[in-house]
Structure 1
Amino acid sequence: MEEPLATYTIDTNGARRVLTLHWHGFVSSEVYREGMLEALKTSRQGAYICWIMDTKDMKVIRQMDQEWTVATWFPQFQLLGVQKFAIVVSDDIFNQMAISSMIAKIRPHIQATVEYFQTLQEAVNWVQDPQGLSTDDFGLFSIK
């Protein structure tokens, strides 16, 4: 049986200001970086304050792409003002380790509240819950 094409899709909900980035399969460095940058661009254009990174069907992320994410992509992500960042955990243990490693490196600096979920629906429910979203400019955040 042939593997499905490894790629990504981006869904948005303007009314709820949610961007969802779905990953599928083992993506090349080129596709990974393209998807991550396209999500930044889409988020800037739509002023999305909640992100869902759906890695459920994603395979391992190469070490060089992990380093790129932390060093190059993350500083751009910080400028977006995202308040909630949900991660749907991959079924692939190597992807889980890669995501955990990246989050551990950025957690001391990230302004958004980050939570992990087993299903996309759980992540959607969390980001759509208005509790924990700060609407003022005092930089308040919620801790779960």
Structure 2
Amino acid sequence: MRPLVQVFKESFVEILYEEDHNIIVANWMGYLKQEDIRLGCMALNDFIRKSRIKKHLSNQSQLKVLSRDVQNYIIDTWYPEAEKLGLQKIAIFASADIFARDSVDHVNLNIGRGNLEIRTKHSMQQCMDWLIN
């Protein structure tokens, strides 16, 4: 497998491209403000559109609790936009922090998914395996 290519970096997210399987990886960090999530998701959407990405790995292992505004943005705006762009599968590597994991679970239980498949996994390798197969 070729090394991941960095396509975007800020203090709260690093976005990488895995060329062999056409997967976009986002490594989220810390407490996200609404403007952080918007900026990160716009970068994701730009790359999804440009590269016709179908699969996304959201590494949330370093993420803290998501505020209600951030949760609502993901549910109401980003998931529908990403699906319209052709995204089909999202694998989530969840934070070990119980409160962060609960806020992420709230987001994933409250979306109108359409055809977007979302799975939470317990390791980066499990995420990649599910996305590839």
**Which TM-score applies when normalising by structure 1?**
0.78
1:63–1:25 Cα change, 3 Å: same
Please give the root-mean-square deviation of Cα atoms over the aligned residues, in Å.
1.7
The equivalent of 1:115 in structure 2 is: 119
1:68 has 2:52 as partner:
no
1:43-82 pair list within 5 angstroms: 43-82=48-87
Unaligned stretches of 5+ in structure 1?
Answer: 130-144
Partners of 1:82 and 1:111 within 8 A in 2: no
Once residues 92 and 33 of structure 1 are traced to their aligned partners in structure 2, the CA distance between those partners, rounded to angstroms, is 23
Once residues 118 and 14 of structure 1 are traced to their aligned partners in structure 2, the CA distance between those partners, rounded to angstroms, is 23
Identity value in percent: 21
For residue 123 of structure 2, what is the amino acid of its counterpart?
Answer: T
For residue 122 of structure 1, what is the amino acid of its counterpart?
Answer: Q
The structure richer in strand per residue is: 2
Partners of 1:6 and 1:27 within 8 A in 2: no
The equivalent of 2:5 in structure 1 is: none
For residue 83 of structure 1, what is the amino acid of its counterpart?
Answer: Q
For residue 117 of structure 1, what is the amino acid of its counterpart?
Answer: K
* Secondary structure of the corresponding residue to residue 13 of structure 2: strand
For residue 109 of structure 2, what is the amino acid of its counterpart?
Answer: A
Give the alignment partner of residue 27 of structure 1, picking from 16, 29, 32: 32
1:75–1:97 Cα change, 3 Å: same
Once residues 38 and 78 of structure 2 are traced to their aligned partners in structure 1, the CA distance between those partners, rounded to angstroms, is 9
**Residues 20-29 or 48-57, more deviating:** 20-29
1:47 is displaced (CA, Å) by: 0.6
**Which TM-score applies when normalising by structure 2?**
0.84
**Residues 34-43 or 49-58, more deviating:** 34-43
Deviations 1:47-106 (A, max 9, x none): 111111110110011111111211122221120222221010111222211111111111
Once residues 65 and 11 of structure 2 are traced to their aligned partners in structure 1, the CA distance between those partners, rounded to angstroms, is 12
